[in-house]
Amino acid sequence: MPLVPMRQVLMEAAKGAYGVGAFNVNNMEQIQAIAAAANDTRSPVIIQASRGALQYSRMRYLRNLIAAAVEENPDIPIVMHLDHGNSLETCEQAIALGFTSVMIDASLEQDGKTIASYEYNVKTTREVVEYAHRLGVTVEAELGALGGIEDGHGAGIRGDEHLTDPDQVEDFVKQTGCDALAVAIGTSHGAYKTLRYDESGNPLPPRLALERIEEIHKRVPDLPLVMHGSSSVPPELVEIVNRYGGNMQKAMGIPMEDIKFGIQRGVRKINVDTDGRIAFTGAIRKVFVESPGEFDPRKYLAPARDALTELIKGKMTDYGQAGHAGDYEPMTLQDAKKTWYS
């Protein structure tokens, strides 16, 4: 099975009323873990790389590692997605290397931190859409700005600043022609998504503007919505990191019930990065503490890969994508071009 267009995966998810996890990668072990989890649960999956990941691993290395995952799992629909592309040029580079989906985040300027104007967002997104659709490639856009800073990306905002305005959504989608829309509802990148604590000092979940998802879905019922910054930051994973020499603060991410609320109201793509980092790091720290003489990377990267596989299997089950890998005949980019963009 070739890499598939993300639009098909998200449209099928809409038919089945489930979400699809989009998992960030930087190296071989992470890709192997995602592919193993998808195979074990029979799940379609989105493997995505941020600009930071592509700088670290180089585009071609990640492209070829994902291609290997596709070859090893020929009956699993796999999307290769560029996360938070900052310009037409970045998206063009990814598409040239075979990415079947790109995100253009023009809610921020090219530095990835400065809030952009609505007009800039529309113009830049439309340029990417026009280029990508000629090649059958799916385009995800963002309206409103995500808080937090991770991997060099994010507006660093808190509170209700720059949430997606439902009144702009229909105009934005009409002007840009995007295939999926990331909405800003109060989620943020990173492990520390909330500054709220209870009387005992335990973190509370961030206040999300979930009603905006509902309102946006009413305005564009056929458009797949995307939740960024959707890691749950499981306390048991944080505890493992800290037990074996880490120093992570108490934190709380997005509760699963909030993610499921979104899935019931049109969210089809759920981005997860931080949870995977925590699981991976905890497993490595455990090996270093319990076997301080160990120096073979295989001896600590293999347990990290296994820990990540188990985490992702749980996400796939929770999002509802498990068991749906064989529901449909996968499309090629040429199929997508003829079906939707010609």
Active site residues: 83
Torsion of the alpha carbons at 215, 106, 35 and 277, rounded to the nearest 10: -90
The tokens 């995800």 sit on which residue? 140
CA atoms within 13 A on the CB side of 17: 4
Furthest C-alpha separation in the chain = 60
**How far from the centroid of its chain's Cα atoms is residue 255's Cα?**
16
Token duo for residue 286: 């455990």
Show Cβ contacts of residue 176 under 8 Å, excluding neighbours closer than 6 positions: 122, 125, 126, 129, 141
Q: Which residues pair with 101 in a beta bridge?
A: 81, 138
Distances (CA, A) of 78 to 112, 136, 259, 332: 27, 16, 22, 11
Show Cβ contacts of residue 108 under 8 Å, excluding neighbours closer than 6 positions: 86, 114, 115, 116, 145, 153, 155
> Could you give the CA distance from residue 309 to residue 30 in angstroms, rounded to a whole number?
8
CA atoms within 13 A on the CB side of 292: 3
